[in-house]
Amino acid sequence: MLSRFERARVISARALQLAYGAPPLIDVPEGVVDPYEVARMEFEKGVIPFVIVREYPDGSVELVEVS
């Protein structure tokens, strides 16, 4: 489960990619042009291929797949 901060970071990073011309990973509904909205829809459908790296104080590392 992602924290609200990780969720915001993933969506904003994907929205930036979309704003710079990356192709959407979903079929975008007619009339939706905002990169943030497209990224949010991709996140909800679980198609964003990102990996969160969590580093803990004891030195352990956890990899969490977003999709």
Question: Is residue 52 over pLDDT 90?
Answer: yes
Question: Is residue 40 over pLDDT 90?
Answer: yes
**pLDDT computed for residue 37 by the predictor:** 97
Question: Is residue 43 over pLDDT 90?
Answer: yes
CA 65 to chain centroid, in Å, comes to 10
CA 30 to chain centroid, in Å, comes to 21
- Structural domains of the chain, ranges and CATH numbers in brackets: 4-65 (3.90.940.10)
Question: Is residue 67 over pLDDT 90?
Answer: no
Distance of alpha carbon 46 from alpha carbon 22, whole angstroms: 17
**pLDDT computed for residue 24 by the predictor:** 96
